[in-house]
Chain A
Amino acid sequence: MKNEWPLWEVFIRGQHGLNHRHVGSLHAPDAEMALKNARDVYTRRNEGVSIWVVEAAHITASSPSDKGPLYEPSESKVYRHPTFFDIPDEAGHM
């Protein structure tokens, strides 16, 4: 790879009140241009009210092989869900 523009991940807030959501990526020389390009590439039809760009190299991601150690422990902790507890109807809405 020569002097390729770095890759940026683009996150867009679709409407007021919603989280920013990953929509894709693009190449740009710097953050300012990444924002401008993101506006052209990902919001041509009113898709957003706010844009975040993050250089892809700065993202740390979990690995698929960590799936077991990371997520399996929560499977055995059903008491974290409200439905685990039986509350008699007489107690009223809870």
Chain B
Amino acid sequence: MYAQMVKSESTQDAPEKLAAFQARIDAGEKIEPKDWMPEGYRKTLIRQIGQHAHSEIVGQLPEGNWITRAPTLERKAILLAKVQDEAGHGLYLYCAAETLAVSRDELTEMLLDGRMKYSSIFNYPTLTWADMGAVGWLVDGAAIMNQVPLQRTSYGPYSRAMIRICKEESFHQRQGYHIMMKMAQGTPAQKKMAQDALNRFWYPSLMMFGPSDKDSVHSAQSMKWKIKMNTNDELRQKFVDQTVPQAEFLGLTVPDDTLRWNEDKGGYDFAEPDWSEFFDVIQGNGPCNTERLAARNKAWDEGAWVREGLMAHAAKKRAAKLAAE
């Protein structure tokens, strides 16, 4: 899940307007940009879609880290394509957010000065090539869990962006799993790297779904508005149930001694991640928070002359065309 702990905004609109709005959502209608919407719905969506977009953009960094060191030319081309997709996903989502009357520059600035967040997962480092496997398999796998139901979200532009993203996301997970397969079937040293990557990414991936339902204070209103489709724990359970057999197939061990199949609930019992670590990372104290934000700020600052130069060039061309007419 790329949007974690999205705070719901309160709404002060007239009760009858709110009820009519809720009725549209309950009837499965899509809300479109020019339709009336409660202020809280609009603001919560900006926060959630913005956070989601920022996650796609910042998410390029841990994988971009390995493009120049991919083990083969084919893996390099695949990784490049994947990272390019993440940029595309960020752009689809920014456009969806912009239909809610926030500008692209405002969104970018809120990321750069820390007012808006991105997923905690991207604050972990990618230390070995096997991490490219673990990220695709687990991180994109967890993202898919969340994004598939969001295709049915009530806000039209968000829903359409999610549909496009989901079409492309499966490639990401499968290329990651394919890397893990190769490593797990490789030399003992390669298998060890794959196990190490799983060890490091397992709990951070579970954290992607956000805090446990009992501590998740923002869910109810968002679920009513169909901005959030499932609870954090539902999605986390689904992710574990799907992923454990995949780890077994690889011959790797999920780093959780308490992991057991529970026949009664038809799912695995598993250990919760260390939530104090999660809140610490969210607060900016993860291993890579500083590095990630610094990289985004650098790209923005050093790209300024390109943005401005192209605008100046476009203005000059327009003026020349007008003069010629």
Contacts and interface: CB of A to CB of B under 8 A. Distances in A.
Interface of A: 1-5, 7, 23-27, 29-30, 33, 40-41, 44-45, 61, 63-64
Interface string B92-105: 10010010000111
Interface stretch (B59-67, B225-233, B305-313): B305-313
Taking chain B's interface residues, is the majority helix, strand, or loop, or is none over half, making it mixed?
Answer: helix
Contact of B91 (A26, A33, A61, A63): A26
A26 B95 contact: yes
B34 A63 contact: yes
B91 A44 contact: no
B127 interface: no
Interface string B139-182: 00000000000000000000011001000100000000000000
Contacts of A63: 34
Contacts of B34: 61, 63-64
A3 B168 CA distance: 32
B95 A1 contact: no
Contact of B104 (A27, A40, A64): A27
B23 to A, nearest CB: 15
Given A4-B105, A41-B88, A61-B34, 20 more contacts: A1-B106, A3-B307, A4-B103, A5-B310, A5-B311, A7-B98, A23-B164, A24-B92, A24-B164, A26-B95, A29-B307, A29-B311, A29-B313, A33-B314, A41-B91, A41-B92, A44-B81, A44-B84, A44-B88, A63-B34
A36 to B, nearest CB: 11
A30 B313 CA distance: 9
Given A2-B105, A45-B168, A25 B95 contact: yes
A15 to B, nearest CB: 17
A30 B314 contact: yes
Contacts of A33: 310, 314
B257 interface: no
Given A2-B105, A5-B311, A44-B85, A64 B95 contact: no
B213 interface: no
Interface in B1-40: 32, 34-36
17 contacts: A1-B106, A2-B105, A4-B104, A5-B310, A7-B98, A23-B164, A25-B95, A26-B91, A29-B313, A30-B310, A30-B314, A44-B81, A44-B84, A44-B88, A45-B168, A64-B34, A64-B35
B218 interface: no
A24 to B, nearest CB: 6
B311 A3 contact: yes
B95 A24 contact: yes
Contact of A1 (B103, B307, B313): B103
A7 B84 CA distance: 21
A7 B157 CA distance: 15
Contacts of B92: 24, 41
Contact of A5 (B106, B307, B318): B307
Nearest to B313: A29
B161 A29 contact: no
